[in-house]
Amino acid sequence: MTTDAKILLALRESAGGVSGAALADELRITRAAIWSRIEELRALGYQIEAAPHSGYRLAGEPDVLFADDLAARLAGAGVIGRDVRVFEETTSTNDVAEKLARDGAAEGVVIFAESQSRGRGRLGRQWLSPPRQGLWFSILLRPLLRPQETTQLTVMAATALRRAISHETSLEVKIKWPNDILIGGKKVAGILTEMSAELDRVRHVILGIGVDVNQQAGDFPPELRRSATSLRMECGVAVSRAALAAAALRELDADYERLRAGKFGAVADEWENFCATLGGNVTVQIGDERFHGRAEALDETGALLLRTEHGRLKTIHGGDVLPEKRP
């Protein structure tokens, strides 16, 4: 962890303030060096008050993603979040993660961008990523899975992301199979799972995640206003992107640990509890084909089991659940 990260961690842990001497002692640098770091953090927008007796106190934080700050918030991460990098702008954070993957980066690295010029969703669709209004990030994983099992990672990501958003906002948050997060029936976040694989072995998976955090209604293009929302629009107040980012990565790390421990079943159970898709009749479009049926459950690979009108179970690994026509 960097010195800046350690200072932010110490400030957060002592709400009453921490003295320059104590910080210098803990970090084994001079008080002058501490003062210089504090000045730099202030320049980034951190409101750090200094009082003669109580010392330094964190009174306010800027709405920026700062890698050292995220590292401080994620101290103790297992796999996901032990290496966090923030870019001001990328084409797509998935592109950056893909390059890292090919250069041999260890799994768990997370790439954030304050904006993406070519953010993408499933099937090459555009994903709008305006500067500082949301969380646009990608996670590199190297799971021991076969290609047809990677749906497990989408299920895991949806479960963890739903939990983080729910904790941070106290809103009711649902999952739409396979990769959307909904609030009040509107999409607030999406997950794109990309893999590089041989026939029987995944080389790596990139989980791309986008969360619409602080947009106002007018920030969405007209064609999305009926189907998309942001956390700010649902809460009525701005949401700290750094706090949400850290919460999401903590939950993702915890659920990835569940997966690696062979407990996908527990993750899938939680997923089913919060799924807006299961239990009802749905139409799923895959390419040019459409399948109708009752969405019954997930199977052990994370695929959707659809009970068709002929009574048979059909296994569906990905696709678009279309809105039901209203009577």
Here's the x/- map for its own copies, 75-114, by CB under 8 A: it reads as: -----------------------x---x------------
Beta-carbon neighbour count of residue 289 at 10 Å? 8
Only segment of 35-43, 70-78, 146-154, 164-172 that touches its own copies (CB under 8 A): 146-154
CB of 166: closest distance to its own copies in angstroms? 24
Which of 122, 176, 232, 241: binder of its own copies (CB under 8 A)? 122
Among 52, 198, 261, 326, binds its own copies (CB under 8 A): 198
232 binds its own copies (CB under 8 A): no
Q: Which of 62, 147, 235, 260 binds its own copies (CB under 8 A)?
A: 147
Amino acid at 145: L
Evaluate whether 231 touches 214 at the Cβ level (below 8 Å): yes
CA distance 237 to 230: 11
Q: How near is the Cβ of 267 to its own copies at its closest, in Å? A: 16
Quick one: 57 exposed, middle or buried, by C-beta within 10 A (0-12, 13-18, 19+)? middle
Contact 79, 107 (CB under 8 A): yes
**115 part of the interface to its own copies, by CB under 8 A:** no
Give burial (CB, 10 Å; 0-12/13-18/19+) of 306: buried
| Distance in angstroms (rounded) separating the CA atoms of residues 165 and 169 | 6
**Rounded Cα–Cα distance for residues 245 and 181 (Å):** 15
- Contact letters for its own copies, residues 149-168 (x by CB under 8 A): -xx--x--------------
Residues that bind its own copies (CB under 8 A): 98, 102, 122-123, 144, 146-148, 150-151, 154, 178, 192-201, 203, 286-287, 317-319
